[in-house]
Structure 1
């Protein structure tokens, strides 16, 4: 069992949405499987790992940042490992010591240190919303790919994304927020252009629904339910789903596609994926360079046998169940750190 020290003063209802994801299942809604592996202790001297309980972005102001640094240094002085959680679209990794580990959703693979762990986007089982059971889709002669989402190439969209980029980085420059820097990336515009490349290729069957706004700009619960069902039904009815980063360098759609036992077709943006020490991601998705998008999909589809095509779908659904749900992911993390501490 791994013993964790957490300052309980932060584990209040108001912090549920900012909490280190593992603590949600240890404190707010206890998970029996995880409680067999992790124990929260009341004394820092008795722990294996010190956990900063909430998103480190909550400590961005000057005094709070010093408080966070002092807490980390105290743990390091006691020769304890430290786990941090950096949420949101950008995030950051803290490189104070090789005993400090950061869990985050996004980042650039070429820039992340060895102490960074990528978190999956923890999604609910889409088949519960669809009231359907998982089934595989047989291979057709042509690759068939779906997408429902925000993709817009208008001039005003480009200007809006750039202004938001400038505003964010001004706040970063003056120290209001502390995240890793990333260059301007108009994801909605690029997504539109890449989808159009696929759509005009006669060797590819496309099933695309373009939205001008995120989540189609829905206002009511009824509209939200309708667009969510359209989104999930599109993934369910197409063997491939187009996945690409948004504001942050990660895709929630990628994990929803795996959860539904479909094949993510992903644009390579120097992203990093979870548990890459254990998972051979090339066996679960198609990763394409931005200058050979259609060619990558066509090549993969032609060279995948009928049997392997359906087996890949089965394995993707299984992978989500055994590695990418929140409890499953932290059981894998437990095995990794327990072996290291022993």
Structure 2
């Protein structure tokens, strides 16, 4: 697709459903209906919408490159499968590919011919045809909460590296038992393939990582462990803005920010750390790191395989000891630059179009 030709998504106005939350790709055209319950998401998409210089929606199917169901795949499966079938029918009759927003904590198989699907999670050892990998949406915390200026942190030679974490890291006994029962099929598969261990719920990985770091004398851990998810007014244990500011202050006062998967095999925290110009420690649970083909994560992060979690303190300490002071500071600048150029929501569409082109989805449709 040339710079002068936009990606055109066909959306029939009759597909709109009153009261339903449409895909964020449609926020620039249909408005941002996100409620105060998800206040941060509303502010984020209002400030950093998808780049409409690269795509648009059309009601004329003969002008379109792809057919786009206006709601996320999980919502359609639960609430309106008839609408999904109608979108599939339109795509089949016109010979256009189908573009599905399948982003979310839970990903359901699509199983539709000539369909391309947005995802935020998944596992490298379980490839999916026509997957379009995107980051979890994350706000620019430097602009939102820290004055907009990168605060470069000098390396403190001879001192222990400070690692920060703030987030959901505790489950009740009932939650634990329920989750373990739900994970039983994947846990049994670990007997023959250790990669399936990566499918454990993110809170379990966070708890193990934090306990490992807390017991070590090689790093200094500064952690705020929460009992609930703090990104929604329905579950936050205190005012959301206060909880977010605690996170920002903690990360900025640290050398590294710990990033561990959430319910999806992905983490908003990674991009929040990058937005603040800090170096993330990424626990790699077979994650599909977005835009890995063009983004060199090693320039701004330390990646540790989940199978090496018991050596997490040593890996961090060894890295910190070996990195030169000038490189340590440059990695912080690179972290911030990567967030703005690639991972902030207003940068996603360039990579979405690029991946669609690479997969051949946009060849000869118009």
Fold equivalence (TM over 0.5): yes
Work out which of the residue numbers 77, 84, 87 in structure 2 matches 1:68: 84
| Structure 2 counterpart of 1:4, from 9, 20, 24 | 9
Q: How does 1:125-140 map onto structure 2 within 5 Å?
A: 125-132=140-147, 133-140=149-156
SS in 1 for 2:230: helix
Q: What is the CA-CA distance between 1:310 and the residue it aligns to?
A: 1.0
**1:307 corresponding residue in structure 2:** 326
Alpha-carbon distance between aligned partners in 2 of 1:203 and 1:88, rounded to the nearest angstrom: 36
CA contact (8 A) 2:230 2:237 kept: no
SS of 1:245's equivalent in the other structure is coil
Output the CA distance in 1 between the equivalents of 2:53 and 2:27.
15
TM-fit CA distance, 1:24: 1.5
TM-score of the pair, normalised by structure 1: 0.83
Shift in Å, 1:161: 3.1
Unaligned stretches of 5+ in structure 2? 1-5, 33-45, 185-195
1:234 to 2:239 alignment:
no
3-state SS, counterpart of residue 110 of structure 1: coil
The answer as to whether partners of 1:136 and 1:310 remain within 8 angstroms in 2 is yes
TM-aligned CA distance change 1:104 to 1:335, over 3 Å: closer
Residue 112 of structure 1 and its aligned partner are, at CA, apart by: 2.7
- What is the CA distance between 1:254 and its match in structure 2? 0.9
Structure ranking higher on relative contact order (CA contacts 8 Å, 6+ apart): 2
Q: Among 53, 73, 79, which residue is 1:36 paired with?
A: 53
CA shift for structure 1 position 208 = 1.5
1: CA distance, partners of 2:197 / 2:16:
31
Q: 1:186 to 1:12 in 2, by over 3 A?
A: closer
1:45 equivalent among 59, 62, 67: 62
How far off its partner does 1:14 sit?
2.5
Q: Could you tell me which of 288, 293, 298 is aligned with 1:272? A: 288
Query: Equivalences for 1:134-283 in 2 at 5 Å?
Result: 134-141=150-157, 142-152=160-170, 157-164=172-179, 166=181, 185-215=200-230, 218=236, 223-283=239-299
1:82 is aligned to 2:98 = yes
- Report the aligned-residue RMSD: 3.1
Query: How many residues are treated as equivalent by the alignment?
Result: 323
Q: 1:44 & 1:28 partners in 2: Cα distance?
A: 22
Offset at residue 81 of structure 1 (A): 2.1
- Answer yes or no: is the 8 Å Cα contact 1:48–1:80 preserved in 2: yes
CA distance change for structure 1 residues 119 and 203 in 2, over 3 Å: closer, same or farther? same
Matched residue SS, 2:20: helix
Work out whether residues 99 and 117 of structure 2, in 8 Å CA contact, stay in contact via their aligned partners in 1.
yes
